[in-house]
Amino acid sequence: MRTVHSRVPDEQRVGTRAGLAAGQCGVGQREGDHGGRGDGRGRWRRLGAKSGAALAASAVLGVGLLSGCSSSSDSGGDAKTLTVFAAASLKQSFTQLGAEYEKQHPGVKVTFSFAGSSDLVTQLNQGAPADVFASADQANMDKAVKGGRIKDQPTTFATNTLTIVTPPGNPAHIAALADLSKPGLRLVVCAPQVPCGAAAKKVTTDANVAITPVSEESSVTDVLAKVTTGQADAGLVYVTDAASAGAKVQTVNFPESAKAVNSYPIAAVADSKNSGAAKDFVALVTGPDGRKILQQNGFVLP
């Protein structure tokens, strides 16, 4: 897995195929970007075309990488990079879906930016280029619609609920949601503006469980990491993330989680330069192949 040539942080952007040839063909690059926030619109630029001499030198160094490398006007737009902004909890399933999409659509490379949905919608509404947006809740998708980046009707493709994760052996002896209020417990949750944080707030408030987290993270994967590295006694994460961690965590399910079911909507970005490919990716996610992969990763289908 590799990143496209962009200044978005490496841990957020994961390319499903090598991006070197795409970079030499002039893939968009952003100046001064730090996670896509604060620069506003208009800072994205195209890499300049190389001179004939430079291209000749490149050919000597690696003809194979540049085969088929030409401008979209020369190639008819055959060489494409599809950029998908997706909630962090979708990383495992969407990486698999990206590989499946590339298999079904030769010549298209799928690149992902995985992060908290609130961070992703902020980037979108500040002008970050993307082709598809998949959120872990409807609220952040609505923000993208309000910001004008989404104009198609979003499609709900999966749902998810919370569970408690602890280090192996459950050293803090967590057995129920109420145990998360134990004095001295190192509890980690998502920040309230993040879908998993909003769900955590709802289930604990509805159950009258007063929690005092030692940390509020910007994504569910960050919460999981705090538990798997021993920095927390317990964390509230999605069941899909707990499943992906395997033996690194112990899971404690609780019935109150049914009160906060998160729905995952997806839509093509309105100003996508690859609108056809974007809609094809949405169709894959919502179709039989996508549903199979999502279900294998623990998501509940609508």
Which tens digit of pLDDT belongs to each residue from 143-192?
Answer: 999 999 999 999 999 999 999 999 999 999 999 999 999 999 999 999 99
Q: Note the pLDDT tens digit of each residue in 254-287.
A: 999 999 999 999 999 999 999 999 999 999 999 9
Q: Please determine whether the domains at 13-158+263-296 and 162-259 fall in the same fold group of CATH.
A: yes
Task: Of 253, 269, 258, 116, give the one whose Cα is nearest residue 195.
Answer: 116
CA 122 to chain centre: 13
Mean pLDDT of 203-215: 97
Question: What CA–CA distance (Å, rounded) separates 137 from 156?
Answer: 9
* 220 appears as a binding residue in the annotation: yes
Question: What CA–CA distance (Å, rounded) separates 61 from 263?
Answer: 49
Question: What CA–CA distance (Å, rounded) separates 10 from 83?
Answer: 14
* 117 appears as a binding residue in the annotation: yes
pTM: 0.72
Q: Note the pLDDT tens digit of each residue in 25-74.
A: 333 333 333 333 333 333 333 333 333 444 334 433 343 433 333 333 33
β-sheet bridge partners, residue 162: 238
Question: What CA–CA distance (Å, rounded) separates 272 from 162?
Answer: 33
* 14 appears as a binding residue in the annotation: no
162-259 homologous superfamily: Periplasmic binding protein-like II (3.40.190.10)
Task: Of 116, 127, 114, give the one whose Cα is nearest residue 85.
Answer: 114
Segments making up each domain of the chain, as ranges = 13-158+263-296, 162-259
* 237 appears as a binding residue in the annotation: no
Q: DSSP 3-state assignment of 275?
A: helix
pLDDT for the residue 257: 96
Look at domain 13-158+263-296 and name its CATH class: alpha beta
